[in-house]
Structure 1
């Protein structure tokens, strides 16, 4: 007879521990705790996936809806508008493709920690079944691109474009959207779907600007330096700051590739079973 041992669970103690760890993370200075990505730090926001020489002529247009952001929020807004018969829309995003956080983040081991069957939208409509229970980043990015192609959203997308101004013109009852590429787009409505992960955050650590080693943010992973399989790190001492979802996923790869890895941790992450696996074809057909 098999016996399963389960440790005693003290709910009150566990809640107290979580409250203590949460209190340690609270920072009254808010976003001021981070270093502004500008000036000598501007390179941390460079897009490693974009075509540097990309140019286009400025656009002057009038649309019903201007959508700021082309991640899942912007894509689904575009899809629902298409389904309602609204054709005059535009999606504006600083990235060179759709996908939002899944465009920017391509670090080793990237995956979603929410079940793919409920996280990835429009699966039934597009007839797509995720490969695994927890989809990896490349599969999710490909699904974003699939949505954009299926609903013809690329036709109305202004990519590699930053919005510099959104101003209400009360005389014409229109929003005026101006961008870094000289665009002037008039819109009846504006949908803000730009999210909060398009711009990296750097920790406010003294001396960070004088560090002589190679540095990059995980959301702009430098495969030119690390190598596609991280083979260039074999003789390197590597440090990673943070132990959130990103670190949980990429640290095992760094540990296997680097000569020595340092993980700088403020407060510990919870530990659990990954429990990933391929999608069961029999389950799909039931």
Structure 2
């Protein structure tokens, strides 16, 4: 899988899955554009990628809030200004939101989740597609097994990922004639900073730490057929394959990477 001189945008590329994806594509020779809100974590991710051998001129860090429509065009504009093209768009950024409350919900939580997990993807794809048509590039959207798992705690998150999967398939159908492929990845339980949110009581601000991540992972491990949570590199490998020329006949697919979680008859114990 060679991505030499291919320009790859990764939203949420400053931490967790996104950083793992950025590191993997950079190792394969890609020019990397990472997008996030925190300049601190963006700088940390950028320096880590450079320390792994990527030249500084081959990585661009963009600090924007993708839940705001007016910020999204900046991603494409800055990428084109610096590199002149877009080959791969990885829509990875996502938020879990607050626990679902059916009878007291203010809808701010709903709007926050959908603005980031769905609206931002649609707007960014719209902005990037004209350039992807030129390069015959492709899009990879990061979903979640939550799209298939009804949960009393994460209703809006699950809804947003189900909507994302349908958008992925519809967009793939629409862009087939333009030789732009669109696919999705459906991760299971992956050890990332998002785990820290599950380690705190409702209403508490999550403290991201290796200890809190391991605590949640150890709780989940027993209910995963492979008896362990996944690692960011395992999602990154899947993204690299779908975005590569080796997947040239794959479009409209949602690749499940979950350690056989969806095959397990006790998955509801993990999420309810």
TM-score, normalised to structure 2's length?
0.27
- Higher gyration radius (CA): 1
Structure in which a larger fraction of residues adopt helix: 2
The normalised TM-score by structure 1 is 0.26
Higher strand share: 1
**Looking at both structures, which has the greater relative contact order when contacts are Cα pairs under 8 Å and sequence separation is at least 6?**
1
